[in-house]
Chains A and B, each alone.
Chain A
Amino acid sequence: MTTMTETKPKPLAVNNNSSPGSRVFDALNVIVLVGLALITVLPLLYVLAASFAGEPEIVSRPFFLWPEKIVTESYEYIFATPTFVRSLLTTVFVTAVGMVVQVLLTFTMAYPLAKRYLPGRTLVLNLVIFTMVFSGGMIPTYLVVRDLGLLDSYWALILPLAINPFYLIIVKSFFQELPQALEEAARIDGCNEMGVFFRIVLPLSKPIIATFSLFYAVAIWNDYMSPLLYVNDPNKWTLQILVRQLTNTDAAAALAQMDRTWIPPEQGLKFAVIVIATLPILLFYPFLQKHFAKGVLIGGVKE
């Protein structure tokens, strides 16, 4: 009786998995998923190819992944235009400074919140969590930023988003799981909490610091709403604003801001500017990908 039930299922299982229906499904599944991956990537590859193509080719050829003749006119035009170069430097600068400020603020706040014995910790945590459910909204935040005199300042692109509560909670959970023995040893050696944090805890957290630096950097780099709300001065346009201005139904107005002694490659310019705004993200993508899944799973769900 026992031998019967033990031997019987095995051939059955094999049958199930290699039945004709099952194999057809596997084939279809591969086709669907590869198709999905292509739909994701092909538009990006096309934009890259078109950014190196001449004006007539962009207009006449329907779809291509390699230009007939490689033309770098669009890039030459862009890098010779002060408006563009300024916005690129602005964005790089704001992203770099913002990332450091945000990581520093997030990690220094997460450390005390990880200490269960700290009186008042729960209160602060609840204050943080409440902001994930309800916010004052766009206009009251705008008024606060304005009253602080931050309009048209680069700080307006950094400070209002300085701490992402989801990231804060993830880092806090990470600190809670660090072995306490090392910290204790440092404390006995006479280190104060600040010393423990900078000398023991931060060096142990290098991978998670790298992860959240990248997350914050991507968020600032991609931010469109903050510059739209807080920056009016065209000299302080970020790359995202410029991309928007150029790839719009009324791009003429933006082109007027650019170099007028040189007739721009109208369509090629759009492709080139998209490539430049996307490229840094794609370069960092392998590093992002290494860690992000963990981040998503511990904390949260939405950006």
Chain B
Amino acid sequence: MATDLATPPAKAARKARKRRADKVPLGTALLRYRWLYLMLLPGLAYFVIFKYLPMYGVTIAFQDFLPFLGYSGSPWVGLKHFEALFTGGDFGRLLFNTLFLALLHVVFVFPAPIVVALLLNELRLNILKRSIQSLIYIPHFLSWTIVASLTYVLFAADFGVLSGWIREFLNDTAKIDYMAQEEWFRPLIILQQLWKMTGWGTIIYLAALAGVDPNLYEAARMDGAGRFRQLWHVTLPAIRPTVVVMAILASGNLLDTGFEQIWLMTTSLNRDVANVFDTYVFYAGIQNASYSYSTAVGLFKGVAGVILIFGSNWLAKRLGQRGLF
């Protein structure tokens, strides 16, 4: 720092030289790095075609898109479809269903891996710890189709194991098809998420816990801290940054209820509580072919997600935490 201040001309000269070295004329760069650019090309083409063309395609949310007129030929209609969404009868229901599921997720599913990671961290027997980890990671690799099918066979009205137990427990003889009950939809969704995501979610917290300096525990013990005190004063502060990052990421996905899971659990009988933005876009866009309207719905959701992720990042920084970016 001091030497830099002492010799500003030398520093400026070095900087200028570096800048000149960086700024190779485009033609020269293309020629010199032609193989590297060639290797970049297929991947770049993928991102342009399957990511950026659809982003351009979002413009149809402001049109009355007709496939035979194309993106440029279809008439512009401004915010018509957004007005239709916000004033239409479905919006309130969709927003409520989506936010209700998001709230349940935040309350039950988000903290679960943190709790399990803390419990695993307290296990003394390393073999037991590793075996339990191996088992609880499995559901992450199973598809939502499999999870939904498991739910179906376990909760089936006539032969389901769990429905039988519930019947015995409640001393009830009525055979209920839980997959078709409105009041069972949200509990089942949250149970599925807990089953599928909790184990896998612990990995990132366990890594943070493994990074804690053992001397801190030693010091806490010297000061007379019991296990709970050590948890409170050493462990929890150590994983706080990880929790913050995960919370920011989760907030970006707040309106992302997960299309596959919800779609697979929707039946004609629970549609009132099951319909969320993701599945609504599918019904409106693919099944009813209202391309412009469904794109507008999707765009609303996407923009809200971006705002949420930047907003929570800003909030985390304001609260003195290290943000995501």
Contact = CB atoms under 8 A, between A and B. Distances in A.
Interface residues on A, range: 35 or more
Interface of A: 9, 12-13, 16-17, 19, 22, 25-26, 29-30, 32-34, 36-37, 39-41, 43-44, 46-47, 50, 58-59, 62-63, 105-106, 108-109, 111-113, 115, 118-120, 124, 127-128, 131, 133-144, 148, 159-160, 162-163, 168, 192-194, 197, 218, 221-225, 228-229, 240, 243-244, 247-249, 267, 270-271, 273-274, 277-278, 281-282, 285, 288-289, 292-293, 296-297, 301-302
A33 B132 contact: yes
B138 A44 contact: yes
A199 B56 CA distance: 39
Contact of A36 (B132, B141, B149, B150): B132
A135 B309 contact: no
Interface stretch (B93-101, B103-111, B182-190, B280-288): B280-288
21 contacts: A16-B221, A17-B227, A40-B195, A44-B138, A47-B150, A133-B306, A135-B51, A139-B57, A139-B285, A139-B291, A141-B50, A141-B54, A141-B57, A143-B57, A143-B60, A193-B35, A194-B38, A197-B39, A225-B263, A229-B286, A247-B149
B291 A135 contact: no
Nearest to B44: A124
Interface in B242-261: 245-246, 249, 252-253, 259-260
B137 interface: yes
Contacts of B116: 33, 36
B40 A124 contact: yes
A30 B128 contact: yes
Nearest to B144: A224
Contacts of B252: 133
Contact of B153 (A115, A148, A274): A274
A298 B60 CA distance: 37
A138 to B, nearest CB: 5
Contacts of A58: 159
Contacts of B259: 138, 225
Contacts of A140: 53-58, 60, 295, 298
